[in-house]
């Protein structure tokens, strides 16, 4: 079994700089970039030419923390922590929303086309149907502090990244389907050495379930083995990034990795962009 990320990523394109970028995802022949603006939050680009095609507005949005896409229903899901809700946006811009009743941070879509919502402060994963019905509410183990993002594997288990600089653990974990147990983990005490993390914040999983981890404060993206027992390679290095990375999206079909990065000055985010790497 081979990982789709056969070589270290090479920077091939940079989407335009502008207001800070909250998230990025892809769907079919388009890239969707979520910016923190009053209107026109989602910029839509052609996946080949990188030409701006149109903009979409997330109505009644109060804040933006993550975005993911669903190939089956051809729509976007956007997390709004301040409103404690999820916005569903179709590709023409029609939007609906439903309550989470907690602050959603990370989003993903599982094999059943349901939305996996990571709620950081309460250490929960909530699974919603595509129409917004709560399917289940999973509390993570007590040792999983500040979970940022979760992806459900085909066997039902979850890959979860968690930890702030002051937390005892900064790790990537494989958690049982019921959320009761950490099966295996990678990382430990916060740090910058190989095998350590400093706020592992966002994940992607390829078709063979190799795990890609965005590490905010170490300014890198690394690739883990299926068993989370070793780092296969560094996919994106600090030298390849201009600002602080925050979110990523893996497009297996186009063999592209999209990474958001934002400029942080005087305790505020001032600008952002998406960098595109070959994989």
What is d(CA 134, CA 116) in angstroms, rounded to the nearest whole number?
A: 10
1 occurs within a structural domain: no
2 occurs within a structural domain: no
Per the DSSP assignment, residues forming a β-bridge with 172 are 161, 186
What percent of the chain has pLDDT above 70? 97
What the block records as the tokens of 34 is: 């979520």
33 occurs within a structural domain: yes
Task: CATH number of the domain at 131, please.
Answer: 2.130.10.10
Domain residues for 42?
10-278
5 occurs within a structural domain: no
271 close to 246: Cβ distance less than 8 angstroms: no
Which of 214, 107, 209 has the alpha carbon at shortest distance from 157? 209
pLDDT in tens, 101-133: 999 999 999 999 999 999 999 999 999 999 999
pLDDT in tens, 149-180: 999 999 999 999 999 999 999 999 999 999 99
Strand order through the sheet with 95-99: 66-70, 75-80, 85-90, 95-99
184 close to 227: Cβ distance less than 8 angstroms: yes
What is d(CA 43, CA 32) in angstroms, rounded to the nearest whole number?
A: 6
54 occurs within a structural domain: yes
Per the DSSP assignment, residues forming a β-bridge with 69 are 76
Residue 117 class from Cβ within 10 Å (0-12 exposed, 13-18 middle, 19+ buried)?
A: buried
126 occurs within a structural domain: yes
62 occurs within a structural domain: yes
What the block records as the tokens of 249 is: 């999206």
161 close to 151: Cβ distance less than 8 angstroms: no
- Flag whether pLDDT at 8 surpasses 90: no
20 occurs within a structural domain: yes
Q: How far apart are the first and last CA of the chain?
A: 17
Total tally of structural domains belonging to the chain: 1
pLDDT in tens, 240-266: 999 999 999 999 999 999 999 999 888
23 C-beta neighbours (distance < 10 Å), count: 27
């Amino acid at each position: 079994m081979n990982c789709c990320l056969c070589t270290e990523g090479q920077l091939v394109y940079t989407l335009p700089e502008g207001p800070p970028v909250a998230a990025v995802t892809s769907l079919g022949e388009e890239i969707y970039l979520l910016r923190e603006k009053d209107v026109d939050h989602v910029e839509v680009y052609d996946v080949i030419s990188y030409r701006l095609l149109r903009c979409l507005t997330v109505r009644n949005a109060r804040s933006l923390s993550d975005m993911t896409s669903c190939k089956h229903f051809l729509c976007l899901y956007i997390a709004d922590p301040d409103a404690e809700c999820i916005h569903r946006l179709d590709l023409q811009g029609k939007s609906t929303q439903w309550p989470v009743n907690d602050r959603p941070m990370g989003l993903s879509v599982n094999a059943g086309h349901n939305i996996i919502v990571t709620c950081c402060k309460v250490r929960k994963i909530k699974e919603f149907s595509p129409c917004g019905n709560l399917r289940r509410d999973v509390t993570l183990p007590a040792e999983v502090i500040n979970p940022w993002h979760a992806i459900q594997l085909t066997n039902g288990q979850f890959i979860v990244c968690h930890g702030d600089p002051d937390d005892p653990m900064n790790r990537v974990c494989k958690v049982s389907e019921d959320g009761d147990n950490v099966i295996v983990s990678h990382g430990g005490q916060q740090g910058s050495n190989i095998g350590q993390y400093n706020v592992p914040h966002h994940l992607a999983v390829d078709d063979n379930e190799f795990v890609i981890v965005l590490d905010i404060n170490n300014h890198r993206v690394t690739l883990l083995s299926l068993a989370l027992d070793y780092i296969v390679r560094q996919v994106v290095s600090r030298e390849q990034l201009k600002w602080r990375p925050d979110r990523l999206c893996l497009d297996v079909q186009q063999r592209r990795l999209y990474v958001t990065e934002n400029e942080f000055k005087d305790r505020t985010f001032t600008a952002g962009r998406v960098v595109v790497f070959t994989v």
